[in-house]
Amino acid sequence: MLRASFIATSVLVLAGCATQAPAPAPTTGGSAPSGGTAPPPPPEVPSASQEPVERLRGAYSKTQGWTLCGQTAPSALQTPLRSELDAFAPGTDSYFLDGWGRRGPQGVELVSVERIHTEGPGCEEPLDGFVWVAHGQEPFWAFGVTTSGIRFKPEGEPSRTYAYVKPEIVGQQLVYRGADFELVLNKEGCQSTMADARYAWAARLQADGRSWQGCAWQGLQSEGEEKL
């Protein structure tokens, strides 16, 4: 239970680290985008709605609909991913759904899933303080990318900070590198082995001569916003 709780509250663990991340380190050359910039949301897909795709989160019920963060009543959900949502956590009617979609007069249209889980902080999770969050188990760890630095918290060990670097983007893969670490984020499905949770990104971390595997998801912080 303690280990599952650590995994489910990765953002809270990182946000509570007392050590301030170092200032961004200068980078040279290359055509990589500005550091801390997450990949763009999923491409537009044909839709009757003209609303842009945005990040949407909230409690989802297979029988009642999707209650987005900040709302009190569920909205009807329209999505080609219905079978994927219904197949998650068999026997459980509701869970937390985090993805990309559109709001419309007929309800909410879900374009792609960022993550779904049955345990976790939900809408109160402070994702606006992070560009990326990654976590894993065996050994357990949490890693957060912000616009001013990078935080790493292995379970049972002091938190660490790394100088900020620009990511390399190759297809559906992002790579953050520094003097003592390399974080690789792959756009592929990833499932936690300790809880009912699925993510759109897999993470591989090498730091200080050690290796970790896990899952990742995009935060809500964007370039130019400093909320540490």
pLDDT value, residue 7 = 45
Q: Please provide the size of the chain in residues.
A: 228
Torsion of CA 181, 185, 186, 192, to 10 degrees: 100
pLDDT value, residue 193 = 65
How many secondary structure helices (H) and strands (E) does the chain include? 3, 16
pLDDT value, residue 170 = 83
pLDDT value, residue 49 = 52
pLDDT value, residue 185 = 95
Bond before 158 cis per omega within 30 degrees: no
Mean pLDDT by 10 residues, the chain (228 residues): 47 55 37 42 48 92 94 94 88 93 92 92 89 88 89 91 83 88 93 82 91 93 48
Per-residue burial over 72-106, b = 16 or more CB atoms within 10 Å of its CB, e = otherwise: eebbebbbeeeeebeebbeeeeebbbbbbbbebee
Between CA 21 and CA 175 the distance in angstroms is 19
- The whole model's pTM is what? 0.78
Q: Which helix (H) or strand (E) holds 2?
A: helix 2-8
Tell me whether strands 65-68 and 54-61 are parallel, antiparallel or unpaired. Answer: antiparallel
Reference 144, options 128, 157, 120; nearest CA is: 128
Which is it for the CA torsion 102, 103, 106, 110, positive or negative? positive
Q: How many CA atoms, within 13 angstroms, populate the side-chain half-sphere of residue 34? A: 9
